Structure 1
Amino acid sequence: MPAPLVWLGLGLASLYASDSLTKAYQRTKGRVVYYPGESELPVKPVNGAVVTCGIFGVFDHTGIWCDDHIVELKGNGLIRGVSPERFLHGRSGEKIYVACDQADQPLIAPEAFQRASEQLFQYSRYHVLDNNCHRFVWQCLSGQRERLTRFTELNTRMCQHFSTPIHWHVAKL
């Protein structure tokens, strides 16, 4: 019985170490300046902005800000709009963070708000690796359906898409 728990623990430790190395690489390449939790600068989210919160200190959950709500892809495949409080509920993160540019302004794609809003109350086959919240957010930003597995991959694509390093600042709600 203890063996599966040991393997699970080793798997999580490996994932955390890999993520830490990827974050360090992104920082040295100038893709991300501040990760969630590293800046306390308050920024008001605007429609079409990318937001995130932490999950158990290991994972990140992302969505699109739309009219004081967050459109997210839930784990059961439902695309829904939730309040900021509901976005945080059941997750370890206590704050929501907004992706910003070097001038500390939210990064927005005008189409992201529209694409996210149009998908409300639809279902998408959720899969933790192949069709997760990061892929949903990227699809809303770019209109492209590409596989994104990790938060660090989303940061890389956003940096390229917006041509600016990403600064994650705490959302002023």
Structure 2
Amino acid sequence: MPLPLVWLGAGAAALFAGTKLTREIQKSQGYINHFPGECKRAVQPIDGAVVCCGIYEVFQHTGIWVDNNIIELRGNGLIRGISPERFLTERSGNTIFVACDKHRQPLVKPDTAAVASSRLFEYSEYDLLSNNCHRFTMHCVTGVDRQITRFAELNATMCATFNTKIYWQPIINA
């Protein structure tokens, strides 16, 4: 039975290598400067800021910071507000990151917090590829509902929306 373990290990290594390659491509395309975890300078999030946390060091989960909570699209389709501690529960990371500009100021559009808050307790048919947390997050930021599947697409859309590279900074612990 060691052969299945070898294949599993090879698959994990390929996934990790693919993640590293995707990061380098995003940096070379100018969308992002710091990925989550690449910079230690902590920032205080503000209402309407885009936040994320890691999931098994391969995926990211995103939401909107509002009143010291995070509004997210959960995997069951419920849009809910949760504490930062709950946002990290059942995920591999122990840090929340906020999208900032080069001056480490959180990137915020004026109506983002209001749009996110207005969607609380709604259900949205969750689908990992066509209707996930990244799509919900960018809809709150831009007011436009368009398909965003991957964290890379979220970064590219945020870069275009805010006309700046994205610097993912850890948040100051409350």
Q: Same fold (TM over 0.5)?
A: yes
* Cα RMSD, aligned residues only: 1.8
The answer for the alignment partner of 1:146 in structure 2 is 146
**TM-aligned CA distance change 1:124 to 1:162, over 3 Å:** same
Amino acid at match of 2:164: T
Counterpart residue number, 2:137: 137
> Secondary structure at 1:103's aligned position in 2?
coil
Residue 2 of structure 1, CA deviation: 8.2
Distance 1:5 1:66, change over 3 A: farther
- Is residue 127 from structure 1 mapped to residue 127 from structure 2 by the alignment? yes
- Which residue of the partner structure matches residue 55 of structure 2? 55
2:103 corresponding residue in structure 1: 103
| TM-fit CA distance, 1:5 | 7.2
The aligned amino acid for 2:58 is: V
Q: 2:135, 2:6 → 1: CA distance?
A: 30
Q: 1:47 corresponds to which letter in structure 2?
A: D
Matches of residues 112-123 of structure 1 in structure 2 within 5 Å? 112-123=112-123
Match of 2:45 in 1: 45
User: What TM-score do the two structures reach when normalised by structure 1?
Assistant: 0.92
Deviation at 1:161, TM superposition (A): 0.5
* 1:60 counterpart SS class: strand
- Structure 1 segments of 4 or more deviating over 6 A? 1-8
Aligned partner letter, 1:145: D
Deviation by residue 1:23-59 (Cα, 9 ceiling, x = unmatched): 1011112211110001111100000000000011111
Q: Deviations over 1:127-155 (max 9, x none)?
A: 00110000000100111111111111100
Residue number in structure 2 paired with 1:24: 24
Q: 1:14: how far off?
A: 3.9
- 1:133–1:11 distance in 2 versus 1, CA, 3 Å: farther
Structure 1: stretches of 5+ with no match in the other structure = none
Any stretches of 5+ residues in structure 2 without a counterpart? none
CA separation in 2, counterparts of 1:4 and 1:136? Answer: 37
Cα gap change, 1:111/1:3 in structure 2, threshold over 3 Å: closer, same or farther? farther
Residues 73 and 6 of structure 1: is their aligned pair in 2 closer, same or farther, counting only changes over 3 Å? farther
How many corresponding residue pairs?
173
State the alpha-carbon separation in 2 of the partners of residues 125 and 29 from structure 1: 32
